[in-house]
Structure 1
Amino acid sequence: MNWQHLIEDRNRFFWLLHLGGWIGFAMVHYLGSLLHDLRDVFVWIILFRAWAGALISLGLRYVYQKAWNLSPAKIALVVIVSSYVAGVVWQVVNNITYWEIYKHGFRPDFWLLYTKSSVWSFYIMLAWSGLYFGIKYYQMLQQERQKVLTANNMANQAQLKMLRYQLNPHFLFNTLNAISTLILINENKTANAMVTKLSEFLRYSLDKDPMKRVTVTQELTALQLYLDIEKVRFEERLQIKFEIQNNCQNALVPSMILQPLAENAIKYAIAAREEGGTIEVKVSRFANDLQLEINDNGPGAEIVDGNLYRENGVGLANTRERLATLFQEYSLVVSENIPNGLKINIRIPFQTEVE
């Protein structure tokens, strides 16, 4: 049996522990009955107690699932109250069963005696509740640990992928070719500035871990370096606009998340048109989310199921992969820009360095 697979399947693991625990409860009480030399009919009482306990405690599971997202204090209150109610109900059932089978239909004179020994049953239900939450938190901890291991493993792959879509050989070739041309026409000052920007951009892209996050300000500085280099190539054909909300500068984003999207826009929107075009970068906050948007006014592309249909395209796919690794909740939407072009919108949780 694959125990790891069994543990990861939460529903199957719950039923295994739930049924196994109550069977164990019945076995312990059966062995205890042998010490007291009870009649054979007591076995049926033990079995019924275990069956009733399993059924009543099963209801606690659904109560706790509803209360799972409450504050710790409220969860503790729900556990205590629910365990007590379940314990009283279980003990009433146990007493009735015992009197009916073992005492031949005995009935107490006072109704409160039906709840006799409820404290013992409450402790049993409370113990069940403690095991339920303990095991569930352990499973969550293991799941988070697995995510960390997966993220570390993907980081090594992401480093290689970064070289593929951040340090595109065509980008380096075109940049070096532009520098060479500037030197030939004695534009040494411009060539020197371009070399400096290229050096800063390469240093930033190689130093930053693709699985770590940087501030919006740092990310836009790196993006500006890249766009300044490209602007030397395209001159007036490339227009750049930034629209950044004041409360977003310190928000955290994955490093180099915008550059491959800007590179796609330049390759398919600016370079594809003789007259060039405009790339617009927007950063804003919406409720508890940070929105990153890059749009262009190029010829656009075919969008199939929210993805661009382009052969050999890796920038968008790698961006999705990185977002999925870093965030439980995110969105990346590709849509048509009005009146023409493409718009890529990324939405991630808003976090800052202070947090």
Structure 2
Amino acid sequence: MFKNIDDHNQQFWILHTLGWIGFAVVHYLGSLVHEMRDAYLMVVALDAYVGWLLTIPLRYIYQRTWSWHPVKMVLTVLLLATLVAVLWTIVKNYSYWEIYRHGFQPKNLSWLQQYLRQTPVSFYVILSWSGMYFGIKYYQTLQREKQKLLTATNRAHEAQLKMLRYQLNPHFLFNTLNAISTLVLTNENNTAEKMVTRLSDFLRYSLYKDPIKKVPLQQEISAARLYLEIEKVRFSERLKVHFEISEDASQALVPSLILQPLIENAIKYAVATQIDGGHIAISAKKFGHDLLLEVADNGPGVPLDDGLPKSEHSGVGLVNTRERLAALYDNNFSLVLTHNDPQGLKVNIRLPYELEATE
């Protein structure tokens, strides 16, 4: 019934109120087995209302304990449930003896005995409320993760289609095939054969890598080398490339083809537009719990505004990359553009450092 209520705060108040109303109804119906005066309805309503009030602060405290160690969280829940149960028992006894019994209290029970007898029942009710709260919150968390995974799947497939437009760009294929044809005409058959093999390997990697799955960075670097070696035939000495990949970074998991649009941008705007060509530097290193990736060039650069290109055409591939990262990592990533020194553009990506699970 709550699947259309997206506001979790609204869900809490509805379930919280319905739960205590249900408690009052069950408690009152159970009392009908015995002969009870009509005033007992007021007592039950007051008990449920006080329980409704006392458990509200627990919600905000439990929100803080959600990420705690399980043992610490359980001990905190038990302690808070005991404290609230004692307070609730005090109010219930007051309303029972002052409202329902009109001040009469059984002579055979002391004040302490009354509380010792009733507090465990209150404790079990508050503990049940706590258990339902954590159970519902855990269910909501699972639903959010399921929704995020579904969104990531859809976004990644959309991003794959967009990236294939770049990877299978007709100009790229035309230029590559033209370079191979030129090599054949000049009897450089060995070089032409190598280029065909590289093109085949690169296209195979581009087409068959699942964009949902993450791959070791070293595979991405191998694919980048294939692409750049193909482009080197086109640009010859005008294209210079430098890799600086640390050993621990090479084993880190990254989204497949995450570097490809950035390298294509560098080729398009930094190398192809300059008579003397350009230089592309690709680096990766581990920093704490993060993986830092960087693609830099010495091209003319672009005007930036808070780490984003002002001109829309210069951001080709960046939107796709950002969408994929947001779908896979939520807010736990960054993609920032900065000016290179002395000229050019840097694209910096920060991702969580992850390794492939070993059995």
TM bracket, shorter-chain basis:
over 0.9
Matched, 1:349 2:352: yes
SS in structure 2 at match of 1:5 = coil
Which digits, 9 at most, give the CA deviation of each residue in 1:122-178, with x for residues without a partner?
000010011001111111111222223333333433332231122222211111111
Equivalent residue, structure 2, for 1:234? 235
Residue 312 of structure 1, CA deviation: 8.0
1:167-206 superposed matches below 5 A: 167-206=168-207
Distance in 1 (CA, whole Å) between partners of 2:303 and 2:212 is 30
Of 45-54 and 30-39, deviating more is 30-39
1:202-213 superposed matches below 5 A: 202-213=203-214
SS in structure 2 at match of 1:4 = coil
Which digits, 9 at most, give the CA deviation of each residue in 1:192-214, with x for residues without a partner?
21111111111111111112111
Distance in 1 (CA, whole Å) between partners of 2:242 and 2:142 is 44
Distance in 2 (CA, whole Å) between partners of 1:353 and 1:34 is 62
Residue 114 of structure 1, CA deviation: 6.0
Residue 5 of structure 1, CA deviation: 2.4
Equivalent residue, structure 2, for 1:243? 244
1:85-124 superposed matches below 5 A: 85-106=83-104, 112-113=112-113, 115-116=115-116, 117-124=118-125
Residue 249 of structure 1, CA deviation: 1.6
SS in structure 2 at match of 1:278 = strand
Which digits, 9 at most, give the CA deviation of each residue in 1:14-45, with x for residues without a partner?
11100001011111222233332222222221
Matched, 1:319 2:321: yes
1:139-288 superposed matches below 5 A: 139-288=140-289
Q: What fraction of aligned residue pairs are identical, expressed as a percent?
A: 56
Residue 185 of structure 1, CA deviation: 2.3
Give ranges in structure 2 of 5+ residues lacking alignment: none
Distance in 1 (CA, whole Å) between partners of 2:168 and 2:238 is 22
Equivalent residue, structure 2, for 1:15? 13
Matched, 1:330 2:328: no
The residue type equivalent to 1:48 in the other structure is: L
The residue type equivalent to 1:104 in the other structure is: H
Which digits, 9 at most, give the CA deviation of each residue in 1:93-115, with x for residues without a partner?
11112122123235799553462
Equivalent residue, structure 2, for 1:4? 3
Distance in 2 (CA, whole Å) between partners of 1:337 and 1:159 is 29
Distance in 2 (CA, whole Å) between partners of 1:354 and 1:281 is 26
Of 131-140 and 321-330, deviating more is 321-330
TM-score, length basis structure 1: 0.94
Of 176-185 and 86-95, deviating more is 176-185
SS in structure 2 at match of 1:347 = strand
The residue type equivalent to 1:269 in the other structure is: A
Distance in 2 (CA, whole Å) between partners of 1:126 and 1:286 is 43
Give ranges in structure 1 of 5+ residues lacking alignment: none
The residue type equivalent to 2:112 in the other structure is: L
Equivalent residue, structure 2, for 1:339? 342
CA contact (8 A) 1:295 1:341 kept: yes
Distance in 2 (CA, whole Å) between partners of 1:254 and 1:82 is 44
Residue 338 of structure 1, CA deviation: 1.8
1:21-32 superposed matches below 5 A: 21-32=19-30
RMSD over aligned CA atoms reads 1.8
Distance in 2 (CA, whole Å) between partners of 1:158 and 1:318 is 6
Structure-2 change in CA distance of 1:310 and 1:190 (3 Å):
farther
Distance in 2 (CA, whole Å) between partners of 1:156 and 1:243 is 30
Of 259-268 and 158-167, deviating more is 158-167
Of 105-114 and 280-289, deviating more is 105-114
Which digits, 9 at most, give the CA deviation of each residue in 1:209-262, with x for residues without a partner?
112111111110000000111111111111111111121121101111111100
Residue 350 of structure 1, CA deviation: 0.5
SS in structure 2 at match of 1:209 = coil
CA contact (8 A) 1:288 1:349 kept: yes
Of 309-318 and 230-239, deviating more is 309-318
Which digits, 9 at most, give the CA deviation of each residue in 1:321-341, with x for residues without a partner?
111111131111111112211
SS in structure 1 at match of 2:103 = coil
Equivalent residue, structure 2, for 1:58? 56
